[in-house]
């Protein structure tokens, strides 16, 4: 069992760090009181034998957190439990802005201002900050930059593959609301007007063979593949869990279906998490 404790200043982004670690395959629990951590680890090791990375969130809202945390970590490390401590902080101006935007009072402000509460918390958590294996300053970091920082801090974390979905649809029923990218294939030759192909769909080889005779269709297919291969590393770098490329034609029966089928065939060996859906057929 490996343990990563995420703590730090309120409003600095502890929840975002926990979420990023959970998305990377860790088991994550938030607001764990110090006195419950050892029983939790013992129970977790019994329920999940073998190697596991557990992430717990702790903060100064828990009673006696600052007093109990140091001895707790010493006991765990003495018991051969690898412990990483990630301390999350940010500039005071950023924390004040976040409290102003959310209109939530700082739990240590008492009857004073949020700035006084932030200062009290810094002083209270100073000994814990000194114990940290990693100090993560989230000032000015976007969520994608935060994920990259976490990946560099804990390089042995598994990376979740971005799930790519190829979706065909018909414009006459509207553009899919969940599409990240939409390509319009309505200018390509339409098998609907070929009597023998009209009752078929883009899944049928006869339709695909007809479309492949068109230079424009072949070029469309090649450019869509090239664009996906170029953009996917950037999409993954941004930390997206899902990416949907939607291709539409008039009715969603022939051209868009054939493009999705052939594009999936070209990509399936290189994109692990790849699925296809034909909205008007399914």
pLDDT at residue 94, as a whole number:
87
CA distance 9 to 14: 8
- The average pLDDT across 214-239 equals 91
pLDDT at residue 65, as a whole number:
86
Question: Going from the N-terminus, what domains does the chain have, and what CATH number goes with each?
Answer: 2-153 (3.40.50.300), 163-278 (no CATH)
pLDDT above 90 covers a percentage of the chain that reads 44
Q: Has residue 198 got a pLDDT over 80?
A: yes
Phi and psi at residue 181, to the nearest 5°? -135, 135
Q: Which residues neighbour 101 within 8 Å (Cβ) at sequence distance 6 or greater?
A: none
pLDDT above 70 covers a percentage of the chain that reads 94
User: pLDDT per residue over 144-191, tens digit each?
Assistant: 777 777 776 665 555 556 889 999 999 999 999 889 999 999 999 999
């Amino acid at each position: 069992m490996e343990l990563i404790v995420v703590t730090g200043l309120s409003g600095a982004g502890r929840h975002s760090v926990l979420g990023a670690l959970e998305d990377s395959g860790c088991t994550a629990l938030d607001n764990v009181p110090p006195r419950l951590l050892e029983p939790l680890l013992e129970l977790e090791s019994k329920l999940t034998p073998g190697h596991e990375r557990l992430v717990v969130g702790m903060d100064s809202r828990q009673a006696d957190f600052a007093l109990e945390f140091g001895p707790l970590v010493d006991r765990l490390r003495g018991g051969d439990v690898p412990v990483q401590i990630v301390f999350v902080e940010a500039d005071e101006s950023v924390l004040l802005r976040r409290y102003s935007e959310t209109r939530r009072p700082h739990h240590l402000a008492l009857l004073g201002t949020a700035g006084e509460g932030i200062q009290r918390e810094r002083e209270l958590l100073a000994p814990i900050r000194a114990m940290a294996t990693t100090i993560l300053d989230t000032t000015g970091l976007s969520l994608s930059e935060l994920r990259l920082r976490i990946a560099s801090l804990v390089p042995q974390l598994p990376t979740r593959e971005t799930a790519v979905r190829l979706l065909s649809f018909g414009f006459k029923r509207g553009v899919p609301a969940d599409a990240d990218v939409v390509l319009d294939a309505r200018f390509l030759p339409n098998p609907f007007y070929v009597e023998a192909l009209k009752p078929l769909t883009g899944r049928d080889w006869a339709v695909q063979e007809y479309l492949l005779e068109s230079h424009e269709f072949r070029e469309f297919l090649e450019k869509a593949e090239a664009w996906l291969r170029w953009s996917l590393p950037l999409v993954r770098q941004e930390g997206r869990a899902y990416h949907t490329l939607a291709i539409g034609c008039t009715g969603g029966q022939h051209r868009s279906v054939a493009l999705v089928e052939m594009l999936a065939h070209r990509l399936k060996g290189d994109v692990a998490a790849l699925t296809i859906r034909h909205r008007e057929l399914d």
